[in-house]
Amino acid sequence: MASAKPAVVIVHGGWQTPASYDKIATSLRLADYEVHVPHLTSMNREKTPGGDLITDTALVRSIVEGLVEAGQIVIALLHSYGGQVGTNALYGLSLQSRAKQGLVGGLSNLIYLSAFILPEGWATLDQAHALGYADEKALELKLNFEEDGYCTMAAPREQLINNVSDDAEAAAYISTLVPWNIKCAHQPLSHCAWKEIPVTYIHTINDKTLILESQRLMVERLKEHGLRDPLVITLGTDHCAHLTATDVVVDVIKNAIVAVKENGA
């Protein structure tokens, strides 16, 4: 029997892992929500080959398909690179498209948290090109590249969690980070779930990883590609608002759930 409350699927960002989202996942679970945070294949300490956007997409789609086929309503929180994965993975699973087939359950909302939201055929590196970067090597001041194709953040505290003042909290978060396969930045989208599922975009003003200019450019661009009436929220925080503005992000999720209920889903 499907849960009375929607399930929340968190698709994590580059270099991060499910443990990076423990604070928000715990908050949601304490409020009796079912929470899933799959560990994307393109991020691991062992730097094993093969994990990329394609395998990340397959993983997330399989988890969400299982939930909606069980009749559950699902809200997806997509963070950073997780926006690229969720956009690619979650097409065809909306509440509306499933209802037209006489099926219950489905995705009610995509919540992009300082995340990539791009048109079909775009890779995340294309967004860097739009801002004037030639290729990923132009980002070397921020990333450490390794011969095996993986990369790490050069200064994760300054780049990801610059709003965190507590040294212990910062160290604990940084300990959850792992290398990421840079191949993912070159892989384009094959599908665009945002075309059929209501979108909320959370801008983060103090973001040093995906700067506010880039976030706004992506949302405005997609309005020309068919993005309809996104709900836009702006927070005065860093790239990881799930850590530094947890309660606010949880409220955004809860408000999306209330809206689903009011619409009779």
33 Cβ contact partners less than 8 Å away, ≥ 6 residues apart: 5, 6, 7, 8
- Residue ranges and CATH numbers for the domains of the chain are 7-262 (3.40.50.1820)
Taking the alpha carbons of 79, 81, 83, 89 in that order, is the dihedral positive or negative?
negative
Counting every residue written for the chain, the total comes to 265
- Retrieve residue 149's tokens: 């194709």
**8-state DSSP, 28:** H
Show pLDDT as tens, one digit a residue, over the chain (265 residues). Answer: 456 789 999 999 999 999 999 999 999 999 999 999 999 999 988 887 789 999 999 999 999 999 999 999 999 999 999 999 999 999 999 999 999 999 999 999 999 999 999 999 999 999 988 887 756 555 555 888 888 889 999 999 999 999 999 999 999 999 999 999 999 999 999 999 999 999 999 999 999 999 999 999 999 999 999 999 999 999 999 999 999 999 999 999 999 988 776 665 5
Distance CA 73, CA 7 (A): 6
pTM of the model: 0.95
Half-sphere exposure of 175 (CA within 13 A, CB side): 7
Q: CB–CB of 184/52 below 8 Å?
A: yes
